[in-house]
Amino acid sequence: MSQDLIVEQLFESIISGDRPAARSLVHAASRGVPASDLVYELFWPTYELVERLFRQDQLTKLAHRMGTKLLRQLVDQHAARLDLAAPNGRTVFACCGPSEADELGAQMSVDLMEAAGYSVRFAGGGIPADEILAQVHETRPDFLVLFASAPGDLPDIRNIIDTIREIGACPGMRIVVGGGVFNRAEGLAEEIGAHASARDPLELVETISEPLPMSAAKPAERAATPRRVRPAA
């Protein structure tokens, strides 16, 4: 059975709230497949499909809510199957936008970072900027990862990054952003002062595993005019 067909079947089961069908499909798809592969080959494409159709007004709020909640439950249950690499001594502090869908997308990335050996603190969404900054100052993580799916999340992310730069907090910390809004606006991550961005959980793990180029140590000066985010396709 093709990957696209499995994604479509899981999508149909979760937006209809068919919990037994969704669990059965995931159980069958997981046979003989590394646990991490299931995240970025099944869960992540299904999540992107749900979010894209909802943005395009092709899903009701009810279907979106049922799909998000059921997919998050499946992701939670599957996380226990992930093989954990030996700790690599590097730390991550991650936050995201305020919705449950934001947290679901971020959670998949967090699970894979932890499986790759990173020590991860994940606060979820809706955390005030001053509390994020206080946590950064107190724990001094190697990476600050900020997920955003909506343009409305950008002012707080800009404020956090600007404040970190202005006060010189954690000069060795690398700031990485991810989520739908950055995928839909090319160059936005650099413009707001992040070191890097990632389109999906696998790319995020690869990104934070790469040495930081000298040219990225101080992100380029961003333009004063805010970028207009392109509508999703």
- Indicate the domain borders of the chain: 3-79, 91-216
Closest of 109, 134, 104, 132 to residue 120, by C-alpha: 109
CA atoms within 13 A on the CB side of 207: 22
Choose which CATH entry (1.10.1240.10, 3.20.20.100, 3.30.565.10, 3.40.50.920) describes domain 3-79: 1.10.1240.10
Is 210's pLDDT higher than 90? no
Q: What percent of the chain has pLDDT over 90?
A: 62
pLDDT for 128-155, tens place per residue? 999 999 999 999 999 999 988 777 888 8
Give the pLDDT confidence of 189-200 residue by residue, as tens digits. 888 889 999 988
Least Cα distance to 178 among 100, 72, 97, 122 occurs for: 97
Distance set, CA 215 to CA 2, 46, 175, 182, 196 (Å): 41, 36, 14, 21, 11
CATH 3.40.50.280 fits 91-216, yes or no: yes
